[in-house]
Amino acid sequence: MKKHHYNPDSCTTCTACVVHCPVTHAMREFRGPKLAGPAGERFRLSEDDFDAALEYCSNCKNCDISCPSRVPVSTLNMKAKARYYKTHKPPLRDWLLSHSEQMAKMASVAPGLANLGMNNFLSRALMQQIGVSDKAPLPAYAPQTFIKQFQKIKQQPFTNKVVFYPGCFVNYNQPEVGLDVVAVLQANQFQVIVPEDAVCCGSPLVVSGYMEEAEANARKNVAILNKYVEQGYAVITACTSCGLMLKQEYQELFEINGVGGVAARIYDISEFLLELYDEGRLNTNFVKQTGRYLYHAPCHLRVQGIGRPGLELVSLLPGIEVSDADAGCCGISGNYGFKADRYDIAMAIGSNLFETIKSSGVAFVLSDCGTCRLQITHGTGVRTAHPIAIVRAAYGI
């Protein structure tokens, strides 16, 4: 397919993106998506000028969501950052946070030791020195990866099959989410295929300027997933950032044969189950539960334009009370809130959400994004879960 060439002059300077930018609200140094994005791009195209304010862009996509002219402001920002880092070496901090898959592979050899080494006073002090916040909630590594646990599952064979792309966070940090996905799909008579040679979607690489590495990952993933898509299989994700990359950002950032066909078959797990429900095919033999939850919609879900499928799905379950927090960005935005000089900004961005959760009195918050869940617990002390965990419990499995 042809690579997208975005014209910054499509921006009408209406400032809708500025109004909806959480970083602009939290700090003065960032001039806002309108000036850093389309306006700045005009100068960058002619002078290759880099605006340091771009470093404050979290790639949360709220500017893209709000733009009436459909200018992909965040994509302009990420491309400008990548151009800059072709000739300027990124800091070590950014390399560490962007190469989470490599770090996780090493940690998975001895995850207990890795967690201990990552979260003691001395190591956090050293991390602070290189720019990783000593206060940010670094995710713990699971005792065993999702892939290894999936290999031990004896699935019931079904004619209907789907592909599940777990992504790094589910595979290395919260494999229980992937196990819930498999269990729920089995309950709906789908056999699950997990392509074990798939790699990181590239989202953490893009936000720190490692665009060539992200493109290499994208090419590999598209080639792998396209083989299944050509057989008519849907591809399921349970991480909104992974889903966004596979469904939308690969097409915006790279020129890859077959990417459009793959993108058309990417589904968030809740989106896929809701489609089954609309077709009268969802297993609705739910056991009645009791529970009151607040739901937080991640920014990387909202920009996909598929509504709030996790909220809708949980609302179908008998005995469950769930409402939409509707309180804005949590602030973490991938690895943004882990950076020492971004931590306070991230917490300020999330403050409205944190207060909304605390005042609600709920004991559990649901969200489709792993790092959102980390940030919510960090900012409120309230436990979190992926909506699919509540759905699995409703099947009594």
Burial classification of residue 264, based on how many CB atoms lie within 10 Å of its CB (0-12 exposed, 13-18 middle, 19 or more buried): exposed
**Other residues' Cβ atoms within 10 Å of the Cβ of residue 349:** 28
Bigger pLDDT: 2 or 189? 189
**Other residues' Cβ atoms within 10 Å of the Cβ of residue 13:** 12
**DSSP secondary structure letter of residue 3:** P
The neighbouring-strand residues paired with 236 are 164, 267
Half-sphere exposure of 19 (CA within 13 A, CB side): 8
Distance (Å) of CA 183 to CA 136, 188, 191:
32, 9, 10
Residue 51 is predicted with a pLDDT of 67
With 70 as the cut, is the pLDDT of residue 15 above it? no
Residue 58 is predicted with a pLDDT of 86
β-strand 266-268 against 320-324: which pairing, if any? Answer: unpaired
Q: Tokens for 198, please give them.
A: 């798939």
**DSSP secondary structure letter of residue 298:** -
The residue with tokens 């959760």 is 357
Confidence of residue 42 (pLDDT cuts 50, 70, 90): very low
Which are the contacts of 141, defined by CB distance < 8 A and separation ≥ 6?
104, 107, 108, 111, 114, 115, 172, 173
Confidence of residue 25 (pLDDT cuts 50, 70, 90): low
Please give the single-letter amino acid code of residue 339.
K
Which are the contacts of 102, defined by CB distance < 8 A and separation ≥ 6?
none
Bigger pLDDT: 364 or 30? 364
**Other residues' Cβ atoms within 10 Å of the Cβ of residue 1:** 14
Please give the single-letter amino acid code of residue 223.
A
With 50 as the cut, is the pLDDT of residue 142 above it? yes
With 60 as the cut, is the pLDDT of residue 7 above it? no
With 90 as the cut, is the pLDDT of residue 52 above it? no
Residue 34 is predicted with a pLDDT of 52
* pLDDT tens track for 59-70: 999 888 887 877
Torsion sign over Cα 133, 137, 139, 140: positive
Percent of the chain surpassing pLDDT 70: 87
Q: Tokens for 320, please give them.
A: 């469950």
Q: Tokens for 310, please give them.
A: 């996790």
Residue 77 is predicted with a pLDDT of 85
Alpha-carbon distance 157 to 186, whole Å? Answer: 9
Q: Tokens for 79, please give them.
A: 């491309």
Mean pLDDT calculated for residue range 33-62 = 65
Helix axes 370-380, 343-360, angle to 10 degrees: 70
Name the nearest CA neighbour of 148 among 200, 202, 194.
Answer: 194
Residue 126 is predicted with a pLDDT of 94
The residue with tokens 């589904």 is 267
Mean pLDDT calculated for residue range 148-152 = 98
Mean pLDDT calculated for residue range 338-362 = 96
Residue 17 is predicted with a pLDDT of 66
With 60 as the cut, is the pLDDT of residue 174 above it? yes
Mean predicted lDDT score pLDDT of the chain? 90
Residue 3 is predicted with a pLDDT of 45
Mean pLDDT calculated for residue range 329-339 = 94
Mean pLDDT calculated for residue range 188-198 = 98
* pLDDT tens track for 222-253: 999 999 999 999 999 999 999 999 999 999 99
Please give the single-letter amino acid code of residue 327.
A
Residue 297 is predicted with a pLDDT of 97
Mean pLDDT calculated for residue range 99-111 = 95
Q: Are residues 78 and 207 in contact, defined by beta-carbon separation less than 8 angstroms?
A: yes
Mean pLDDT calculated for residue range 341-356 = 96
Q: pTM for this structure?
A: 0.88
With 90 as the cut, is the pLDDT of residue 73 above it? no
User: How many helices, marked H, and strands, marked E, lie in the chain?
Assistant: 24, 8
Residue 2 is predicted with a pLDDT of 41
Taken in order of first residue, the domains within the chain and their CATH numbers are 8-85 (no CATH), 92-130 (no CATH), 146-277 (3.40.50), 284-394 (3.40.50)
